[in-house]
Structure 1
Amino acid sequence: MPLKPLFRLFTLGAFTLFASCATTTTAQSAKESSKPKNIILMIADGTGLSQISASQYFSSQPSNYDRFKHIGLIKTSSSSDLVTDSAAGATAFSAGVKTYNGAIGVDKDTIPVPTILEQLEIKGYDTGIIATSTITHATPGSFYAHVKTRKMEEEIANNLVSSNIDFFAGGGVNFFTNRVDKRDVVMELRKKGYVIDTTRLNKTAKLDKNKRYGYLLSEGGMPSILDGRGSFLYDATKMGINRLSMNKKGFFLMVEGSQVDWGGHNNDADYLISELIDFDTVIGQVLDFAGKDGNTLVIVTADHETGGFTLAADDGDYNKIKPTFSTGGHSATMVPVFAYGPGASEFSGVYENTEIYHKMRMLLNL
């Protein structure tokens, strides 16, 4: 299907009305040099500059990436490879260490390292994880689990039980119920006090600040946008913010648009761009919340770029863009970091991916 008709069909009307443009004020500028109460870290897996540019060229709405003033670049190599994978990339964000490809919350010697979620939970913060992959996938798993390899998704699910995450939403119910060891990890979560739903997001439910919530809404990863996922990421993020913001101490929420990466691996431009536009719309919601709240730092970045994606002129026609790919894997290019809110100015410049963790920790006085 040609790109332009595809994105006419890709309707955002149900929720784009929330993505209004932010206005810059003197008060906001002052806030950007202060300390945040909350942090929302948004990771569009596999997203480089060309993917972000696609949100400007192929969406019917203005790109929410355009709303940021503070922009940096991170170097993404892991300890084992010049080209990182998502596990090592996410562990750099969650724990501030360079580790080997495939590592989940462990250092290069496979020793568990504390994540920012775990450190904040000890301090009384509420925490949340949302992804369009399985909730046990490399990126979300790296924020709460400690295993030698990302392939151990059943063990990563076990780590979720032992964590104290207050809100999570994604796919992967098979790693909790249809297991080799026959454990029913959903039941274990319920026994621990979680309200678990494996059928739908109940958007009208009245959330309780004293309860933890988990949504496992597909056997594996969530469906793609093109296959009918709808507004899951937007709705889950809204619910997560509503629940976590009940904590007067503060909260940390990680939101992953997992399938931008999958579109890149498939060299499928329609898949990639539809996922990126979905993620961009969620950025709009989060920025609107942060603008009203005044105490929330929003960081938007990626663990790496996927596909060697570029927006080339089509057969020399400089008025026609042809998305192209140079690889079915990841690339070593730097990826951008966008920041808004208290402490946003700290994220300008060029630095290693591990600095995302250290900057967040510094701003939260951990």
Structure 2
Amino acid sequence: MNLKKYVIALLALTLAGCNVEDKGKEVKNKTPKNVILLISDGTGLSQISSAFFFKDTEPNYKRFEHIGLINTSSSRQDVTDSAAGATAFASGVKTYNGAIGVADDTTTVKNIVEIVSKKNINTGLIATSSITHATPASFFAHVEERGMAEAIAEQMAASGVDYFAGGGLKYFNKRKDNRNLLEELKQQDFTVDTISLKDFSAIKNNKKVGYLLADKAMLKIQDGRGDFLSDATNQAIQFLSQDNSNFFMMSEGSQIDWGGHDNDAPYLISELIDFDNTIGKVLDFAEKDGNTLVVVTSDHETGGFTLRSSQKEGDNGKMHSDYTKVGTSFSTGGHSATLIPVFAYGPGSEEFIGVYENNDIFHKILKVTGW
């Protein structure tokens, strides 16, 4: 065989190999069966960056290839709150700060849980706050003001939620109207636990599952919450995906935001690392499953958190920057208007590249799933 024929044959074999690889990739499902939305409340790029400096192991944020940015402003305010931010994610509309599941004119808007549960898609919600808090509430309730926790709790029993876990027990069983919503949940096929997460084997045959494990919010990581967020998220995946069922779930690392409000860097960082661990569990499932879209983002940034050089006293007694060690600082006790990163993995993840509005998250999820 002369050189020309040899080169042609080699090219043909190479192209054939590429075609096999391409066909293998094409076989992989391009339409996700499942969607897991992970929300780190109050988390901007600096909060995320803290995992790269303060976590003992490799951050799971590094595992994403498709990354975008969202503008989080609400309908009336440049700086959003969690209620308007979560309503944008859950229902695809911009609304005013404080609104839960209602538009700017206070009319009710359908959320993704209501939409997909009618299509026999299982749904779940997890939070380290009360389950009636702004972010989880926006995925099952409709009220004009986020502080209406008892009114929010009333709506869980009739919602399309199949699994939930968080705090907020007092809004179900220690109410001003003396209603016992735990009984109403049981009447709607919920098995409710107020003590601890059970083994999956103990709940897998239940129709619906609810955990209310604190009167208000769950404990801080620093105070002994343990692996609740990753464990509940993992259990929800197991429960919702039984019998090869499709599912949507939202899991929130709620207290990153509270560390920002308190200008408490150790609190913030410990909660962020806990959230990053949860990302790892979710990505492990999604990589093995191959049919799950994972979207990780935040409603807004809190605290104007900055990773700066640490401060060191010099020989002259004056403080100066020490660039060998990372320090932290805050510029506010409230929220900021900075753009927020979006990380996506799995079928349809390319859709989340770019710069867009926070309510586009909802529309992109419905677009790539066909829901």
TM over 0.5: yes
Give 1 or 2 for the bigger CA radius of gyration. 2
CA contact (8 A) 2:200 2:235 kept: no
1:104-115 → structure 2 map (5 Å cutoff): 104-115=100-111
Question: What is the CA–CA distance in structure 2 between the aligned matches of 1:172 and 1:104, rounded to whole Å?
Answer: 17
Checking the alignment, whether the CA contact within 8 Å between 1:125 and 1:247 is kept in structure 2 is no
* Superposition deviation, residue 206 in structure 1: 3.5
**Equivalents in 1 of 2:81, 2:135: separation in Å?**
10
- Asked whether the 8 Å contact 2:28–2:290 carries over to 1, the reply is no
Aligned counterparts of 2:288 and 2:124: Cα–Cα separation in 1: 20
Query: Counterpart amino acid of 1:222?
Result: M
TM-score by length of 2: 0.90
Equivalent residue letter for 1:89: G
State the distance in 2 between where 1:151 and 1:32 align: 45
Q: Does 1:302 align with 2:298?
A: yes
1:364 aligned onto 2:369: yes
1:180-329 aligned within 5 A: 180-208=176-204, 211-315=207-311, 316-329=321-334
Which residues of 2 match residues 5-154 of structure 1 at below 5 A?
34-154=30-150
Once the two structures are TM-superposed, the CA of residue 126 in structure 1 deviates from its matched residue by 0.2
- 8 A Cα contact 1:134 1:172, kept in partner: yes
Q: Any idea what SS the aligned residue of 1:339 has?
A: strand
TM-aligned CA deviation for residue 27 of structure 1: 8.4
Identity %: 57
- Counterpart amino acid of residue 287 in structure 1: L
- Residue 325 and residue 165 in structure 1: after superposition, are their counterparts in 2 closer, same or farther (change >3 A)? same
Q: Measure the CA separation in 2 of the matches of 1:204 and 1:245.
A: 12
What is residue 11 of structure 1 aligned with on the other side? none
Counterpart residue identity of residue 190, structure 2: Y
Shift in Å at residue 80 of structure 1?
1.3
2:274 maps to a residue whose letter is: D
Which SS does the other structure have where 1:81 is aligned? coil
Task: Please give the alpha-carbon distance, in whole angstroms, between the structure 2 residues aligned to 1:204 and 1:159.
Answer: 26
TM-score by length of 1: 0.91
Query: How far has the Cα of 1:314 moved from its partner?
Result: 1.6
Which residue of the partner structure matches residue 339 of structure 1? 344
Deviating runs (4+, > 4 A) in structure 1? 25-33
Q: Deviations over 1:246-285 (max 9, x none)?
A: 1534100100000000000000000000000000001000
Shift of 1:31: 8.0
Deviation per residue, 1:210-235 (Å, 9 max, x gap): 61000000000000000100011111
Partner of 2:161: 165
Change (3 A) 1:144 1:28: farther
* SS of residue paired to 1:240: helix
Distance 2:219 2:26 in 1: 41
Equivalent pair of 1:32/1:345 in contact (CA under 8 Å): no
Partner of 1:353: 358
Contact 2:191-2:206 within 8 A present in 1 as well: no
Question: What's the offset of the Cα at 1:35?
Answer: 1.2
Whichever residue aligns with residue 318 of structure 1, its letter is Y
Deviation at 1:163, TM superposition (A): 0.4
- Unaligned 5+ segments in structure 2 are 1-20, 312-320
Question: In 1, distance between residues paired with 2:229 and 2:110?
Answer: 27
Contact 1:32 1:340 in 2 (8 A): no
Q: Which residue in 2 is equivalent to 1:15?
A: none
Cα pair 2:286 2:292 within 8 Å, conserved: yes
Aligned counterpart, 1:330: 335
Report the more deviating stretch, 165-174 or 242-251: 242-251
CA distance in 1, matches of 2:207, 2:368: 27
Structure 1, unaligned runs of 5 or more: 1-24
Aligned residue identity for 2:334: G
Determine the C-alpha separation between the residues in 1 that align with 2:25 and 2:44. Answer: 27
Per the TM alignment, residue 172 of structure 1 is displaced from its structure 2 partner at its CA by 0.4
Instruction: In structure 2, give the amino acid aligned to 1:333.
Output: T
2: CA distance, partners of 1:186 / 1:159: 12
Aligned with 1:226: secondary structure?
helix
Cα RMSD after superposing both structures: 1.6
Q: 1: CA distance between counterparts of 2:268 and 2:47?
A: 8
